[in-house]
Structure formats: C-alpha cells, structure tokens
Amino acid sequence: MQPPKVGLITFGDNRSHEWEVVFRQLTEPRHRQALAFFRDLPIELHASTAVARHKREIDAQATALQAAGIEALVAHVPCWTSPNLVVRGIQQMGLPTVVLSNRHPGTHGTVGFLGVAGTLDQIGYPHLRVRDDFEGAGAQRIAERILPFCRAAAVRARLRGRVFGLFGGRSLGIDTGTFDPLQWKRLFQVDTEHIDQLEIIRRAELVEEQRAAGMVGWLERMAGRVDYGQGRLTREKLMFQARCYLATRDLIAERGLDFVAIKCMPDLTNFYVPQCLTAALLPGPYDSEGEREPVMMACEADADAALTMEILKLVSGGKPVLFMDVSYIDDEAGVFYMPNCGAFCSWYAARSDDPAENLRHVQLRPANRPGGGAITYFHTAPGPLTFARLFRRQGVYHMSIIQGETTQVSEEKLRAFVAARGSHQLPTAFARLEVDIDAFLAGFASNHILAVDGQYLPELLHLCDMLGIRPETYTPGHLA
C-alpha cells in the first residue's frame, strides 16, 4: 500500500535585511536537513528545494503540493518568520498539519513556532506541535511524533470516495450493526451500495466449474484438515461456498466496492450455505488464485464494523483484520475469549505471509446451521493487536481503541472452555486487553470487536481528532 503522501514547506523571514544578515544562514541549512530527514522516513515526500518567504512563493509551493495530492502538511518554522504568512500557507492547503521547529538557542525558532501555533489555536485549526532537532535522539523523537500523525492523515484522506457494499440488511436483530449512509457520507465521505445478498447466490451459479474446483482443491491441499462426512459438510457444499466466495469477489470488482458487509444469518445459513469461506479469505492477502490486496468484510451486515476494519487496514498499511465477538471474559485471568460464528481471517492462524503456513493450522469443520457447509476452526497465533470499534452514542460517533495481544491459555483452561461450549466449537482468539474490565463493560457498545496486527493507538487517536470523533480507551477510571 502506498505510504502517506506528505508535503513540506519551510518558511523563512520575509524581511530582506534580517534574512540576509541573520536568518538565511540559519534557515537554509535546516531546510536541507529537513529534506534529508523526511526522505529517509517511510513516507512519500513532496517539497521544494527552496525556502518560502513571500506570499507568491508560499502560494506557488502550496499549489504544487495540492497538485501532488498530499495528505498531510509539515509547516517547518526553523527560525523566526511572520506567523500570518505561515498560516496563509496552512489554510491554503486545508490539511492536517504539523508545525515543526527546533531547540537551538540561536534560531528564534520557538518564537515563530509559538506565534504560528497560537494563531492556529485562535482560529480553531487543529494541528500537531513538534519542537525538536534532527540530530541524535531528537530525530527519533520527531519520527515517533510525526509518523503516526501522517498515517492518520492518510487514512482520513483515503476514506474519501470509498464505496461500501452492503449485502442484505440487519442480521439477527443486531441493531448496532445498522448505520446511516448519509451520516457516513457527511462525516467520512464514504458512499454506500446496497445489494441483495441473493445476488451472491445467483452469481455463484455462474462461476465456472474449473475455477471453483481449483479453489476447493487448493483448500484440500492447504488446510490442516477437511472434515468431510461429518454432519452437513460435503465436497458439494464446499464447492458452493467456493462459488459464493468467487462470486463475491467478482461483484466487488465489477461494482467498484472497497469494503463490504454480508448479512448471511439466518437466510443463507439456513437455506444455502454460510459465507464463512468468504470471511476467512476476503480480508486476507491470498487465495487459490494468488496474492491480492485484502478486502475488508464484516459478518452479520455490521456496517460500523466494516468501516472500522477498513480504517485498521489503512492505518496499518494494508494488513488483514480480525472480526470477532466479545463472548466470554475470564475475570480472574484477565483474558477475553473472542470467537466468531464460523470464520476468522486465516492470516491470523500463524500471522505469516506464506498461506501454507497459515492454512496448515486451519481446519474446515461442519457448520451446525441447517444449510450445512464448512466453518473455519483455529486459535489465533499470539502477538500484539490493536482493537477498535466505531459506534454511536445518541447518534454521535465514538471509537473504542484498545491495545492488547492474543495469547495462549493453559490446557486446563482450554479443556474447560471446550467443555462449556459443547459441540459448537468456533475459531477463537484468546486476548489480553489493556483495559479496566469494569470500564470496558460499562462503555463498550457492541457485541463485535475488530483488531489488526501491531500497535496503532497514537494513529487512531490522531484520526479521531481529525474526524471529530471521541476516542474511548477504558483505562482505570474511564467509565463512559
């Protein structure tokens, strides 16, 4: 996935005498330092080699950056300069902005920095303030502050124009999965395409036999186990699930959808087949036809879950995302048991870029729904995760953001869990969340939760600020 597109403008004093006598020799070397520094970061940098001092130069650089499609701006104020001119450039861009200066005692940079930032505060322009040097430990501190901000800005920009495909309507009476498409259009600039989920069934019948057989043969070779002959799982049913997956992929491509949610239960699970194969493969980076970009899919028509998944994918640079239920909490051990009704993204079986390594841990087991077919079964591999969930409270959007990790439970705990659930075993993540459990239970507003590999708390906090969404973290003392 393309890295964040970041623009840099270094602003200089517009007074001729002060520029020539004092500030040129302080500003231009720091501009060259800034160019070298940002070119080494995992971003796509756009910048002029010249310092912008006058209105015409500022306007020209801003116009060039706009034409390049930048997603975040760094307003570099290494020395004193007139704050109104810096703010002119920032307002012309209208983007999430970092105001950056240095700690050197001779540059007067802090004066210019605070003059600019104070003006932005007075006019209500959100921004990030960073004051540090490009040398030594300062370079690391600048990167740690600015990169999450730029990634968040890229998510904000890339949500615009996305198209969400909703197959079917509310599932199983889960109200928290419903949404207002026009609220999304206003807040996120995301459009919605409504599609009957029976279109998946119709199109599945048109998928070529050879293509579906190739998918099933690949699964039979790659999966750790395929439980044919146990219950309602037959090769014919698995073939139809493969057809549904391929039909869904085709519909996504034809209709220009970026992420989706599928109702599935109870209509398809009772009378056709569950869409568990789609849920296992679509949010991942591969299938029988090779490598591909993950496409986020939420089960049970959960729109806010799907949008959260898309955000987590974008903020992580394109990683697969997990869709889970908050099913059981072992309060004594502090472990959350998070299954799903029949599928997890298979990438999380081993967190490997090699599909064989992931799928050897995955079993295809009979679904217990009337329609039959397969569910996927595995426990997620241990590792860090960022959990999140968009939700509304009285119509206003909030986002739950939690750092944590998946872990392993003891054999004794696992046996007790299996015995308690009985024959209906599901794919499960055993997770430790950095939350106060009472605060979580008091404030978390859905039965579904989403998670992505890695830690992206700062990025999501910045994104919430950019979108005007309140973040909730459920740390001790945080009761929503």
Share of the chain above pLDDT 70, in %: 99
- pLDDT for residue 356: 97
pLDDT digits (tens, 9 = 90+) for 309-318: 999 999 999 9
Which residues fall within 8 angstroms of residue 335, CB to CB, at 6 or more apart?
A: 329, 407, 409, 413, 430, 431, 432
Tracing tokens 């796509």 back to the chain, one arrives at 44
Segment 168-192 shows an average pLDDT of 95
Measure the CA–CA gap between 295 and 321, rounded to whole angstroms.
9
Q: Across the strands, what pairs with 387?
A: 402, 451
pLDDT exceeds 60 at position 478 = no
pLDDT digits (tens, 9 = 90+) for 361-404: 999 999 988 999 999 999 999 999 999 999 999 999 999 999 99
List Cα–Cα distances, 260 to 24, 180, 283, 299, in angstroms: 53, 15, 10, 9
pLDDT exceeds 70 at position 346 = yes
Run of H or E including 316: none
Segment 235-241 shows an average pLDDT of 97
Measure the CA–CA gap between 434 and 430, rounded to whole angstroms.
13
Segment 70-92 shows an average pLDDT of 97
Alpha helices in 258-301 (DSSP H): 267-271, 276-281
Query: 421 falls in which pLDDT band (50, 70, 90)?
Result: confident
pLDDT digits (tens, 9 = 90+) for 86-118: 999 999 999 999 999 999 999 999 999 999 999
What CA dihedral angle connects 283, 288, 293 and 295, to 10 degrees?
-30
Q: How much is the mean pLDDT over the chain?
A: 95
Query: 359 falls in which pLDDT band (50, 70, 90)?
Result: very high
DSSP state of 18: H
- CA 126 vs. chain centroid, Å, equals 22
- pLDDT for residue 53: 98
User: 3-class SS at 173?
Assistant: coil
Least trusted range by pLDDT, from 211-220, 372-381, 419-428: 419-428
- pLDDT for residue 349: 97
pLDDT digits (tens, 9 = 90+) for 111-167: 999 999 999 999 999 999 999 999 999 999 999 999 999 999 999 999 999 999 999
Segment 64-69 shows an average pLDDT of 98
pLDDT exceeds 80 at position 339 = yes
- pLDDT for residue 477: 57
- pLDDT for residue 26: 97
Tracing tokens 């393309």 back to the chain, one arrives at 2
Domains and CATH numbers, the chain: 5-159 (3.40.50.10940), 163-472 (3.20.14.10)
- pLDDT for residue 92: 96
Share of the chain above pLDDT 90, in %: 92
Measure the CA–CA gap between 199 and 193, rounded to whole angstroms.
13
pLDDT exceeds 90 at position 230 = no
Strands (E), 109-214: 127-131, 163-167, 191-195
Query: 479 falls in which pLDDT band (50, 70, 90)?
Result: very low
Q: Which of 442, 455, 420 is nearest to 337 (CA)?
A: 420
Run of H or E including 290: strand 290-291
Query: 44 falls in which pLDDT band (50, 70, 90)?
Result: very high
Q: Which of 315, 310, 314, 316 is nearest to 297 (CA)?
A: 310
CB 69 within 8 A of CB 3: no
